[in-house]
Structure 1
Amino acid sequence: MNATYIQNSIAQFKTEIFMDVRHRTLQKYTGDPVLDENHLFYLLVPFLNGEQWQQEQREAAITVGIVYAALAAHDHIKEQDATSKEQQLTVLAGDFYSGRYYEVLAMSGNIGLIRNLSQGIAKRCEHQIKVYEAETQSVAQWFGSISCIESHLIAQFFELYAFEHYMPIVEKSLLLLRLEREWSTYQLGQVSLMSQVLEGSIQQANGTYNHVIQEKIVQLKAELVQLIHQATFLQDDIKQALYAHVEVSVASTNG
């Protein structure tokens, strides 16, 4: 398996999600649904690693992708003032995608998936609300909230199909990628709501944003190298793909 096969698998998966939520007017004004390819990659890791992956798992994974699209649309509009036609339609897009995943779930009759995703959405939203309300939390607690926002829906999907052993890698990888994205935009002066609350907690602990975030990134990369190296259930080519996805070097980190 090579990078091209993995990228093609993600592209095909994304197309299947788009097919389930296609709406001409929404596409005209808001474009295609926002789908983070990092989420899609980690959703597909068990499949790419050769786990049993029947049509039920495929359809369930697509549903998780639709949920991410709905939540991304709502999160995007909350960062702005919903005054323009495009922004108002973005709100409607989030509602439309939400309706689609409820419809897909109802038609599937997959009670386990309905239960797990409902719990996952509720928990993810609880942590997202903490960001909008700028709730007082320690830096470590904010890292936990970010991890939940990024990966808890995948965790619920993996729990349903007995893929839980992948989660430590997925949680650390998605937290790492989100922190790198927050740090990068922060350097450009584009401070997100998440970076604002993080910076506030860091300052209360007498730290600096750059130092704390960079230190956490280095820590996560070292932990990931160890986790991936010790994961006997992973095929060698998947290990290499996981290393590459978070841009860690086994030699440089261990050396």
Structure 2
Amino acid sequence: MDGYLVPELAKKNMQYDMIEQHTDLPKFPYSRSKLLYIFLNKYSPLEGISELFSLVTSLVQMGLDTHDLVDVGTEHAEMKKMRTRQLRVLAGDYFSSRFYHLLSQAGQVEAVHSLSQAIAEVNRLKINLYMKMKKFKLTADEYFQQRIDIKSQLFLVFSKYMDGKSQKQWSELLLSITKCELITEELDRMTQNKNLKDSWGYWYLINHVTHEEQEVLKTESSNESLIQSFLLKYNIKLKLHQMLEKQWQEISDSFHSINNKSLQHELEKLGQPFRNYITASKV
């Protein structure tokens, strides 16, 4: 037990019978949240409230991610799907509202303001990304970089509370860890065959397949089975595993520049889920 209780605390703040019964939720941002907790504890004057700040940031992220699951494409959906859609909207709003409540109770007005600004920036970045996707003006690398910017924005708010060297270390590690999270998310999408148009693999295909195949992909962009067949043909899963291994190796190498053995150990533990994905690809 390492004293990191944020996932359990977040679960208590997100528990709601109707939500649990009628909809699924996005994955908890464990790695980003734990990394924030570690750095606030070691390199900022916020040690006493590092748990609170990690918790509220995770709840806001869960709220935003839950809203991203809302299917706005079907106007006349069956009752069950309609209920799921409505509950995802309400759940996202509910999770986000918890951060206002918890921070105001703790008298952390500045943090409310900072996170509110970050939420606005996240929404601006999302709109820019969706517009580029709609016009097919996007490369796979641009897609990934914009997704990293979106996923890291809330957590970067706390950079200002850290000292010089650790601030740079924190932001670099956060972006690298976020990329690892996104790669594993992409691998999960392929396994589940869901939301493939909103994936790195899809945008890789758009930029690398033949012209005829590209037109088919653009025309049939909602056909998950068709996209999956192209992903298999072009070995996208293998490419993602190679990206993850390379990215994690770079992060591991960067640990050697950290003069704190305790921090090194905690960061190595943080990477275990990514190492599990890497190991699984070699079995």
TM-score norm. by structure 2 comes to 0.68
Partner of 1:77, secondary structure, is: coil
Q: Deviations over 1:30-77 (max 9, x none)?
A: 478852333332232226768665443322222112101211211122
- Structure 1 residue runs of 5 or longer lacking an equivalent are 249-255
Q: Who is 1:252 aligned against?
A: none
State the aligned residue count: 240
Partner of 2:275, secondary structure, is: coil
Alpha carbons 1:66, 1:97 under 8 Å: kept: yes
* Residue correspondence of structure 1 range 102-121 to structure 2 within 5 A: 102-121=100-119
Question: Which 10-residue stretch deviates more, 174-183 or 227-236?
Answer: 227-236
Q: Who is 1:229 aligned against?
A: 256
- Rounded to whole Å, the distance in 2 between the matches of 1:117 and 1:234 is 32
Distance apart, 1:238 and its partner CA: 1.8
* Residue 63 of structure 2 is aligned to residue 70 of structure 1: yes
* Residue correspondence of structure 1 range 53-92 to structure 2 within 5 A: 53-78=46-71, 81=74, 83-92=81-90
Alpha carbons 1:116, 1:160 under 8 Å: kept: no
* Residue correspondence of structure 1 range 44-193 to structure 2 within 5 A: 44-46=37-39, 53-78=46-71, 81=74, 83-133=81-131, 134-135=133-134, 136-162=137-163, 164=167, 165-186=169-190, 189-193=193-197
Alpha carbons 1:105, 1:114 under 8 Å: kept: yes
Alpha carbons 1:18, 1:33 under 8 Å: kept: no
Q: Who is 2:272 aligned against?
A: 244
- Identity rate, percent: 15
Structure 1 counterpart of 2:250, one-letter code: E
1:31 and 1:62, CA in 2 relative to 1: closer, same or farther beyond 3 A? Answer: same
- Rounded to whole Å, the distance in 1 between the matches of 2:82 and 2:24 is 15
TM-score norm. by structure 1 comes to 0.75
Which one has a bigger Cα radius of gyration?
2
Distance apart, 1:154 and its partner CA: 1.4
Q: Deviations over 1:138-164 (max 9, x none)?
A: 333222112123222112134335552
- Rounded to whole Å, the distance in 2 between the matches of 1:148 and 1:74 is 18
Structure 2 counterpart of 1:241, one-letter code: K
Q: Who is 1:253 aligned against?
A: none
1:52 and 1:238, CA in 2 relative to 1: closer, same or farther beyond 3 A? Answer: farther
* Residue 207 of structure 2 is aligned to residue 204 of structure 1: yes
1:237 and 1:51, CA in 2 relative to 1: closer, same or farther beyond 3 A? Answer: farther
Partner residue of 2:246 out of 219, 228, 240: 219
Q: Who is 1:251 aligned against?
A: none
1:46 and 1:192, CA in 2 relative to 1: closer, same or farther beyond 3 A? Answer: same
